[in-house]
Amino acid sequence: MKITDKKTKTVLVVGGGVAGMSAALDLAGSGHRVHLVESGYDLGGQVAKLDKFYPTDHCAFCPLWTEIRRCKESPAISIHKNGRVETLENTSGGYRAVITQSTPVIDPELCICCGRCESACPKGVARPIWEHAYPPVYLIDRDRCGDCRACVDACPTKAIGFDREEEKAELAVDEVIWSAGFTEVSLEPLKEYGWGTHPDILTSLEFEAWKAESGENRGAILRRSNRAVPRSIAFIQCAGARDLRLLPHCSAVCCMHALKQAQWVKRRNPDVHCAILYTDLRTVGRDYHEYAMRDFGGNGVRLVRGRPSLIYPLPGGDGIAVKFEDTSTQKREIWKFDMVILNGNLKPALSSLPGATASPELDAEGFVARTATSCGFVMEPADVTESAIQASSAALRSITDKN
Amino acid sequence: MAKTGVILCNCFGEIGKVIDLHSLKKRIENDPAVDSVTIVESLCLPGDAAKTHSLMLERGIGKVVLGACSPFGKMEFVKLGLEKEGADVRSVRTVDLREGCAWVHGKDAEGATRKAANQLDMEIGLLQIMRDSKDIAIRVQQEALVIGAGPAGLSAAAGLARLGFKTHLVDRGSAPGGILNMITKTYPADEPGPEKIRSLVEETGRNPLIRFYAKTKVSAVKGYAGDFKISLAGPGGNAALRVGAVVLATGARILFPQGQFGYGKVKNVITQMEMERRFATGTAGCKTAVFVQCVGARNGERPYCSTICCPLSLKNAMRVMDENAGAKAYVLHRDIMTPGSVLEAYYRKALQKGVQFIRFDADRPPEVRGFDQVSGVEVFDTISGVNRFIETDLLVLSTPFIPDPDAAALARMLNIPVDRYGFYAEVYPIHPVETRNDGIFISGTARWPVSSDQAIAQGEAAAVKAASFLGRERVSALTMSRVPGGKLGHAFADAAACTGCGNCVAVCPYEACRLQRTGNRSVSRVIKVRCKACGGCVAVCPNGAMQVPEQNYRAVGEMIRRAFREVR
C-alpha cells in the first residue's frame, strides 16, 4: 500500500515559521491536506525577521524564500494569515477547530507595493511589512494610525480597507501539529539588566532589526540613543534564561546568535569593541564551535565568562556600566559599554486555548508536553536545523500510527 | 511556430509615469518576430491571469514577453497564475520595467524607456532561438534502501514502512541497534539503550514490508534518484536491488584517546564506552569518579562539539553516586553543553544531586596522577582560580564521535559530499536531511554527532522526505528539483560536435555527464535526471557541444547583440 492509496488526512499546523512550513510541506508532499495558521502577516516566523543566518552568514531570508514560495504554491496547503486558533475540540476521530483570520488593512492580494500610501500618510505608519517580504507588501500600523484614511484614496488598487471583519472558519481536521515558535519575554522583572532604562540597552532581536541591512540603518552599526557609532558593545548571555526567577531553560539559540551579531558588527565596523559575557558557550551543531573560535578580524571579539550583577546607564549619557565578575580571573569588574545587547529571554509562544477541550498540555515552562505533536521552539528550544528535523518527524508521526 | 506577443503593464502609472509605454510599443512592434504589443493596466490583480491568458489565446500568441515588475515583485505569482489557467509558461519571459527601469531611472525618462526597449528586445530575441529541453519521465521505484540499523536507520525503515513503502534495511552487523546496544542507560529518561529501540526493532522485524539484511554491505551503486541500482554483498552472496530512494544512517565511531591522560597505560583511565561496559557487568564500583570532557574535541584537530558527551557524563556521574553509596562524582569541563529545556533540567538535577563541576581551561588541561593505577587528577579550577587535586580511583574520558571509516567510500559511491571531518553534509541547514544528490537522505551520527533521540527524529525526517519523493511514482527530470518553477532545463551533448575530451565529466558536480562509447569514439551523454542545469559543462566544452537548449550559445549571442543595438 502506497501513501497515495491511503486515506488523505487533514492536518492543522499552528505556526508558519521554519518548523510549521517544513511540517506543512512534508505533509503536502506525502499527499495530505494542511491548514497552516500563522499569527503574523506572512509566513516565515522569526527567521524571516532576522538579518543574518548562522553558521552560513547568509541573509536569513534567502533560505526561507523557497520554503515560503513552496507553501504558497502548494495546492494542498491552505494558509490562514493573521490567524488564531480560537477553539479546538475533540471529535470522534479528530478535532473541530474554529480559527479566526483577517485580511490586513492593506490586502496583500491587491497591494502592488507602489508606496503611495506611504507618501499619503501624515503619520508615517504605512510601511513595507519588512523589506524581505515576498511578494513585498505594505502594512499599516493600526496602533499609531490617526485614522485619517488618506491612504484609502491614494491606493490605486483599492487594497486598503479599514472596516474588514474578522472571518471565522470551522475546520474539521484529523491531527494538529503545534509549531508556534518563540516569543520574547519582558526582562522588566529582572531589574539588574536595566532593560527599558536606556535606548542603548536592547534585546538581541531588537538589535537584529536595528542593525539589519534591510532595516532603517542599512546595516550601519549605530547607537539607538544618538545614532552615533558605538565604541563598544556588550552581549549579555542568559539574560532571563537559565534563571529560576524567569526562564529556567536554556534558550539554545542565543550563544550562536550573539556570536553571529558580534561578528557582523566587526565585519561592518572593525573598530567597535565587542565582548560576549557568557556562562557556558553552547555551540552545539555543525560548524558552530568553529564559528565561535573564528578570529573575527581586528582585535577580535572578547569572550568573557561572567554574568552581570548590574547593568546601569551612566549619568550624562556616557555609556552603560556593566558590573560583573570575570570568573576566569575572579575579579569584580565594571566595564563601560556604549551598547548592551541582552540575549536569552525567549519562551515558547503558546498559551493554552481558552475553552478548548483539546488544548495542548503545556509543562511548567510553557513547552508543549510530549502527549501532543509539536515541533520547533514550542517543543524544545531549537535552531533552524533542529526545528526542521523535528517538523519532519512531527509530520510523519501525525500521519502514521506507531505500531 | 507559435507567435510572439509582448504585454506591457502600466502598473497603475508606476511604470507609465516614467516610461512612455506608447513609444515603447512603437519601438518594439517593428520587430518582425513580434506579432502584437498590448498595454494593460495590471497583470497581478485577481482575475488578471484569466484576462492575460484569454488575450494570449485570442491573439494566438504562445511566446510571451511580459514587461512588468521585478521577479522579486509579483512576476512569479503572475506566471503561476498563468500556469493555473493552462498556459505553457516555459515560453513566458519577464522583463523588469518597474523597479529596474522606471523606479531607478525616474529622472531620466528617455533613458529608462531606452533600457526597457533593449531588455524587451533581448527577451524577444531569446524566445526566437531558445528551445525546450527534451524532458523525460521516469518511473520511481517504489522501494527504499536504508543503510545502517541503529536508532536512525531503524526509525527511518519503520517510518517508510508505516507510509507503505517496501524497505530494505542493511547493516554490516549481525543485529540491529548499533552503538545503542552497548548503552545500559540513556539520558535523560534513564532507559536501557536496547529498551529504547526495542519497539522499533520489533516493528521492523514484524513489518512484512521491511527486509533486514544482516552482515551486509553496499558494494556498488548505479542509477539515479528514483531508480538506483544497488548491489549488496552479504553472507548469502550478492543481491541486486532497485530502489527509488536511499537513507544513509551508517552511524559513527567514538574516538579512542590513545596516549591521552594516560589512557592505555594507567589502570582505571577509561572511555565512556568502557564505563558503560562496567555498568553492564556490575564492575563500575568506585569511591570517586572523575569525568573529563572534550578529550580530543573542541581542539585544533577536531574543533567541534560532539553534542552527547556532556549529558552522558551527567548521567554517568549521577549513576556512580546512585550505585556506590557515598561515592563522589566530578565533571571536569570547559562548558557544560546542555542546551534546551530538557537537558538544562537534567543539568540542574545533577547539580542538586551533588555532582561537582570544575571548569578548566583548554590551555591548562587536567593532569593524571598515578603510575600503574590512577590515584588522582590535578586541575586548575578557573572559577576559583586555584589548583585542585582530586583523589580518585576512576577517570572517565569523554571522547567525541568521529566519522566511520567506511563513510567516505559510501559517500563517493552515492556522490554526496562530506564535511571537512567526513560527516555527511546536508544541502543546507534548513534542509537538514537532504543532500546535493536527489533521492539520497542522511540521518543520525553519520550526519553529525547527535543523541539517540535526535537520531530517531532524523530517521523519521529522512523517512518522510524519502516517502514524499517516492510517492510521486512518476517524475520528470524537469520537475524533480524542489525549486518552485522547476529547473531551467538540462544540458544536452551534441554528439556530432563532441570530441570526447571529458572536460564535462570532470566538472559536473552531479555526475550527470558520462562518456559513452559510440562506434570507434567516445561521446558525452547527459543523464537528464541528474543534471541540475548549472552550466558548468557548457563553460568548459571547447567545441560548443554542450548546450542547455533554453539558453544555448546562439540564443545568448542574440541577446548580447540585441543588448547593444538601438531599438527605434
pLDDT tens-digit profile of B439-477?
999 999 999 999 999 999 999 999 999 999 999 889 888
Extract the C-alpha cell encoding A18: 521554519
Q: Tell me how many degrees the CA angle B30-B31-B37 measures, rounded to the nearest 5.
A: 70
The full set of domain ranges for chain B reads: 3-130+557-563, 139-253+402-475, 256-399, 492-549
Which pLDDT score, from 0 to 100, does residue B551 have? Answer: 85
**Overall average pLDDT of the A99-127 stretch:** 92
CB proximity A147 to B under 8 Å? no
Which pLDDT score, from 0 to 100, does residue B480 have? Answer: 81
- Superfamily for the A3-102+165-181+349-399 domain: FAD/NAD(P)-binding domain (3.50.50.60)
Tell me how crowded residue B441 is: count the other CB atoms within 10 A of its CB.
33
Question: Is the Cβ–Cβ distance between B384 and B360 less than 8 Å?
Answer: no
Query: d(Cα B311, Cα B313) in Å, to the nearest integer?
Result: 5
- Cα dist from B33 to B3, B63, B132, B410, whole Å: 8, 10, 18, 53
Strand (E) or helix (H) holding A70: helix A61-73
**Does B457 contact A390 at a Cβ distance shorter than 8 Å?**
yes
E strand segments, A39-83: 77-80
What pLDDT digit, counting tens, does each position of B367-394 carry?
Answer: 999 988 999 999 999 999 999 999 999 9
- Which residue in the set B335, B344, B467 is minimally distant from A30, CB to CB? B467
**Does A112 contact B12 at a Cβ distance shorter than 8 Å?**
yes
**Does B457 contact A381 at a Cβ distance shorter than 8 Å?**
no
pLDDT at A338 over 70: yes
CA distance B227 to chain A (A): 17
- Please report how the helices B342-353 and B309-323 are oriented relative to each other, as an axis angle in degrees rounded to 10: 30
CA distance B92 to chain A (A): 18
- Which residue in the set B72, B203, B339 is minimally distant from A282, CB to CB? B339
**Does A242 contact B159 at a Cβ distance shorter than 8 Å?**
no
- Side-chain-side CA neighbours of B485 within 13 Å: the count stands at 18
- Cα dist from B326 to B39, B350, B352, B353, B355, whole Å: 88, 15, 15, 12, 12
Pick the CATH number of B492-549 from 3.30.70.20, 3.30.70.330, 1.10.579.10, 3.90.1300.10: 3.30.70.20
Residue showing cell 582530586: B390
Residues of A in contact with B465 (CB under 8 A): 26, 29, 392
pLDDT at A133 over 80: no
* Residue A3: partners with Cβ closer than 8 Å, 6 or more residues away: A30, A31, B163, B164, B165, B467, B471
Tell me how crowded residue B566 is: count the other CB atoms within 10 A of its CB.
9
Closest residue in B to A364 (Cα–Cα): B341
pLDDT at A403 over 80: no
At A91, give phi and psi (nearest 5°).
Answer: -125, 180
Which pLDDT score, from 0 to 100, does residue B2 have? Answer: 78
Model pTM score: 0.94
Which pLDDT score, from 0 to 100, does residue B484 have? Answer: 61
What pLDDT digit, counting tens, does each position of B11-29 carry?
Answer: 999 999 999 999 999 999 9
Which pLDDT score, from 0 to 100, does residue A394 have? Answer: 97
The three-state secondary structure class of B84 is helix
CA distance A318 to chain B (A): 32
CB proximity A293 to B under 8 Å? yes
Burial of A5 from C-beta contacts in 10 A (0-12 / 13-18 / 19+): exposed
Least Cα distance to B494 among B427, B418, B547 occurs for B547
- Side-chain-side CA neighbours of B128 within 13 Å: the count stands at 15
Pick the CATH number of B3-130+557-563 from 2.30.30, 3.40.50, 1.10.3470, 1.20.1440: 3.40.50
pLDDT at A2 over 70: no
Which pLDDT score, from 0 to 100, does residue A379 have? Answer: 96
Question: Is the Cβ–Cβ distance between B438 and B225 less than 8 Å?
Answer: yes
CA distance from start to end of chain A: 16
* Residue B156: partners with Cβ closer than 8 Å, 6 or more residues away: B146, B247, B249, B441, B443, B459, B460, B462, B463, B466
Beta bridge partners of A11: A34, A175
Which pLDDT score, from 0 to 100, does residue A131 have? Answer: 66
CATH number of A185-345: 3.50.50.60
What pLDDT digit, counting tens, does each position of A181-240 carry?
Answer: 999 999 999 999 999 999 999 999 999 999 998 888 889 999 999 999 999 999 999 999
Question: Is the Cβ–Cβ distance between B443 and B248 less than 8 Å?
Answer: yes
CB proximity A119 to B under 8 Å? no
What pLDDT digit, counting tens, does each position of B134-168 carry?
Answer: 989 999 999 999 999 999 999 999 999 999 999 99
* Size of the A and B interface in Cβ pairs below 8 Å: 205
- Which residue in the set B348, B431, B456 is minimally distant from A388, CB to CB? B431
Q: Where in chain A is the domain with CATH 3.50.50.60?
A: 3-102+165-181+349-399, 185-345
What architecture does CATH give domain B256-399?
Answer: 3-Layer(bba) Sandwich (3.50)
Extract the C-alpha cell encoding A73: 504554491
B256-399 matches B139-253+402-475 in CATH topology:
yes
Residues of A in contact with B349 (CB under 8 A): none
- Which residue in the set B74, B383, B460 is minimally distant from A396, CB to CB? B460
Query: d(Cα A363, Cα A183) in Å, to the nearest integer?
Result: 16
What architecture does CATH give domain B139-253+402-475?
Answer: 3-Layer(bba) Sandwich (3.50)
Question: Is the Cβ–Cβ distance between B292 and B261 less than 8 Å?
Answer: yes
- Which residue in the set B42, B340, B468 is minimally distant from A26, CB to CB? B468
* Residue A163: partners with Cβ closer than 8 Å, 6 or more residues away: none
A55 upstream amide cis, omega within 30 of 0: yes
Residues of A in contact with B335 (CB under 8 A): 280-282
Phi-psi label, residue A109: left if phi above 0, alpha if psi -120 to 50, beta otherwise:
alpha
**Does A385 contact B430 at a Cβ distance shorter than 8 Å?**
yes
Least Cα distance to A348 among A387, A311, A309 occurs for A387
Which of B179-193, B209-223, B373-387, B444-458 has the lowest average pLDDT? B179-193
**Computed from CA positions of residues B476, B482, B486, B492, in that sequence, does the dihedral angle turn out positive or negative?**
negative
**Does A112 contact B69 at a Cβ distance shorter than 8 Å?**
yes
Question: Is the Cβ–Cβ distance between A85 and A36 less than 8 Å?
Answer: no
Helices (H), A236-383: 254-268, 288-293
CA distance A376 to chain B (A): 11
Question: Is the Cβ–Cβ distance between A100 and A168 less than 8 Å?
Answer: yes
Give the confidence band of A317 by pLDDT, cuts at 50, 70, 90.
confident
Residues of B in contact with A287 (CB under 8 A): 304, 419
Closest residue in A to B455 (Cα–Cα): A389
B208-244 per-residue burial string, b: 16 or more CB within 10 A, e: under 16: ebbbbbbebbbeebebbbbbbebebbbeeeebebebb
Least Cα distance to A237 among A311, A289, A288 occurs for A311
Chain B interface mutation, best of A47, A250, A283, A383, highest count of B Cβ atoms under 10 Å: A250
